[in-house]
Structure 1
């Protein structure tokens, strides 16, 4: 609890090609236990918008929330979250779920050692055969439904360089997805070293679909422990 007497709201941020819909099972579990949740659709999913556009959308959502916020970022979502949190005043904690926890001057492609191609104003198609890539341990019907909702992703979002790293001033936790085929666990571990606390779960890239109740319980435990360390700092 904070000085205002409000428990934190969990703002859940999706990754590339996805949308707010991917959190439906997790928000249902969290809200069933009394937590307040928010989700947001990032502009870069389905349009040529970049990291800064996504960060502005996140800032607008954060500004609309009363009390402290625990921001949960999945995959690409960690990049605009870091930009937005650096400007926000009500974020108590960041949770990076198999997320890109980048530093200032880094981009998604650069971190992976890939050159940014010329002409990045278009859209990247949904990856071929996304089920093993994203949903290896997700029930077949659920995975097929998820695939039907994927959209092209902004090419620019992968090449935009981070200009602010919110995790340097806001406490953060990293959740490594150990069976991830999209962002391998060894890559996650490199970024997890930038967080104060690390958890590991035996799931694919999408625990919000494969183990939503287990993930919700872990997020609730993290949120419960997050606000006290920043009590009195919210304005």
Structure 2
């Protein structure tokens, strides 16, 4: 297809502990099919040994919005897992965003944070410091269906996540005003389907993948199929 300014492009927003590297295989699949893609590296993913006041969700959202504003094309913005939270905050009012896609991701409402969306207490963000280490047993929770070689390569690149990114609530929600889809991962061991379903209910359309938490690594071709379908539908609705 022709990637003109009228053709949607993809902005891919990674989840906690990861970086833009995790999208590489999906980007290659989409590029082979003629789609342009962009990524960001969220500042809330911090080096080993980071301490004190660290970047949070609002810093991540600012990076996402700056990237959106710098791309002169219609965008399908895709958030994986935690990446759905800064996507939610960053996208309201962005004229070039054609569609939002949450991939087993947090479609938070105003006033919600990752710490409160399932009933936890909201801390004062001003008091939150330090990091959240990579979650326990990531081989199973994050990568249960990822081939061993790719799983081991990903595990070696994971970094701590700032605690503030999980503590800061969103103050606005892009899914309320923008066309939105949810990709529900049916074999997710990190954010099980029963936890994804309330977020999916906030979106316009729910798609299913028979994947674990990270289909961008376990089944990039099937995820690309869905994203292509969503982008084509978004383009048709704009025309």
TM-score bracket for the superposition, by shorter chain length: over 0.9
| 2:39 corresponds to 1:39 | yes
Q: CA-atom RMSD, angstroms?
A: 1.5
Say if 2:168 is the partner of 1:160.
yes
> Aligned partners of 2:22, 2:77: CA distance in 1, in Å?
15
Q: How does 1:1-235 map to 2 (within 5 A)?
A: 6-46=6-46, 48-116=54-122, 119-231=127-239
Aligned-partner SS, 2:27: helix
C-alpha displacement at 1:171, in angstroms? 0.5
Query: What's the offset of the Cα at 1:144?
Result: 0.7
1:127 shift after superposition: 1.8
| Stretch moving more, 81-90 or 158-167 | 81-90
Q: Give, in whole Å, the separation in 1 of the partners of 2:221 and 2:121.
A: 38
Which is worse superposed, 220-229 or 200-209? 220-229
110-119 vs 38-47, greater mean Cα deviation: 110-119
- In 2, Cα distance between equivalents of 1:43 and 1:35: 26
Alpha-carbon distance between aligned partners in 2 of 1:227 and 1:105, rounded to the nearest angstrom: 32
Q: Secondary structure of the residue that 1:108 maps to in structure 2?
A: coil
CA contact (8 A) 2:27 2:37 kept: yes
Contact conserved, 2:5 with 2:72, CA < 8 A, in 1? no
4+ residue stretches of structure 1 with deviation over 6 A?
A: none
Instruction: Decide whether the 8 Å contact of 2:5 with 2:74 is kept in 1.
Output: no
State how far apart, in whole Å, the 1-side matches of 2:236 and 2:73 are.
13
| Partner SS, residue 116 of structure 2 | helix
Q: 1:128: Cα distance to partner?
A: 2.5
1:93–1:227 CA contact under 8 A, matched in 2: no
Equivalent-residue separation in structure 2 for 1:160 and 1:188 (angstroms)? 20
Aligned partners of 1:82 and 1:229: how far apart in 2?
22
CA change 1:141–1:226 in 2 (3 A) is same
Q: Distance between the aligned counterparts of 1:77 and 1:70, measured in 2?
A: 14
Contact 2:19 2:42 in 1 (8 A): yes
1:5/1:12 CA distance change after superposition, 3 Å: closer
Distance 2:97 2:164 in 1: 27
TM-score by length of 1: 0.93
